[in-house]
A and B are shown apart, each in its own frame.
Chain A
Amino acid sequence: MQKTRFPAVLSTFVLCFAFWILLTWSFEIQELAAGAVVSLAAALFAARFFIHEKSFRLVHPRRFFSLLAYVFVFLGELIKANLDMARRCFGGCRDINPGIVKVPVDLPDGYAQAMLANSITLTPGTITLDIAEEDGKSYYYIHWIDVSETDREKAGDAIKGRMEKWIGRIWK
């Protein structure tokens, strides 16, 4: 098991403490002290599972603003996919053609791959089942409600859309 390093503990602590302040929303000294103790304990135990490598990577103006821009890009994709799914549901659930496709990803970083997989799962109509690695390239297995392309590259373009480019910009 990897050794817990100080920056990882610090970034987890900052996150836990911000969450505590958001939840209690009182600024008395006693509450803040209790929150600090609890979040320090949580950070010591959870840092090795949570943020381990390059802890303060997002504190960088370009990455942070592309994260903000990605939220809106993602909301656009989400609304489009939701309208499509709602149309299928109200139309009697007949208009479906489910299947599992294998889609290549070219994002090098583990965090970026996890973020893209979660974004794909969150848009209705696609669920990421598994990630496989074959000779240096990563592939997603995606359950798709309406398989219109069986070719891998085209299916990948149809599923990932603009999200992959933006995520690559965040974690570059």
Chain B
Amino acid sequence: MALRIVIDVLIAIGAIFALAGTIGLLKMPDTFSRMQASTCISTMGVIGVALGALLYAIFIMNSASTAIKIAVIALLIITVNPIGAHTIAKGAYRAGIRPEKRMETDDYGRDLEDE
């Protein structure tokens, strides 16, 4: 029973961070800040859910293949997500997307103009 409570708490932590990321994605004022908020979902949300599901698969279902697949999915999402985030942030900046309110410090824009 204690194990079930631990599993529920882990999944609830993941759900709370996913909710925070969703709120940020809907309400943040500009494109780059929305990207920052969406990182919350794919790190802490996925880690919480995957840890909970991993404990469930190991101790309650007793199935090794399920546990390994869950771990592979979590590792895949976590290791591969920053590459996509980096590519799309650079692409957005290079395509001329700027926040409405001008950023105070913008070293990248200054160096791009020099080229």
Contacts and interface: CB of A to CB of B under 8 A. Distances in A.
Check A-B contact in the complex, CB < 8 A: yes
A132 interface: yes
Contacts of A22: 68, 72
Interface residues of A, number: 40
A128 interface: yes
A58 B103 CA distance: 41
Interface of A: 19, 22-23, 25, 78-79, 82, 85-86, 88-90, 92-93, 96-102, 117-119, 121-130, 132, 141, 143, 145, 147, 150
B106 A100 contact: yes
Given A23-B72, A86-B16, A121-B85, A98 B107 contact: no
A127 B32 contact: yes
A121 B36 contact: no
Given A86-B17, A127-B36, A121 B86 contact: yes
Please classify the interface of chain A as helix (H, G, I), strand (E, B), loop, or mixed, using the class held by over half of its residues. mixed
B90 A130 contact: yes
Contacts of A79: 44
B86 A129 contact: yes
A96 B106 CA distance: 15
Contacts of A92: 27
Interface string B72-115: 10000011011101100110010000010001111111010000
Given A85-B40, A141-B108, A143-B89, 10 more contacts: A19-B72, A85-B20, A85-B36, A89-B40, A92-B27, A93-B29, A102-B108, A124-B36, A125-B39, A143-B32
14 contacts: A90-B23, A93-B33, A100-B105, A101-B105, A102-B107, A117-B86, A118-B82, A121-B86, A122-B82, A124-B37, A125-B36, A126-B36, A127-B85, A141-B107
B107 A89 contact: no
A93 to B, nearest CB: 5
Contacts of A99: 103-106
Interface centre among A25, A85, A102, A145 (most CB of B within 10 A): A85
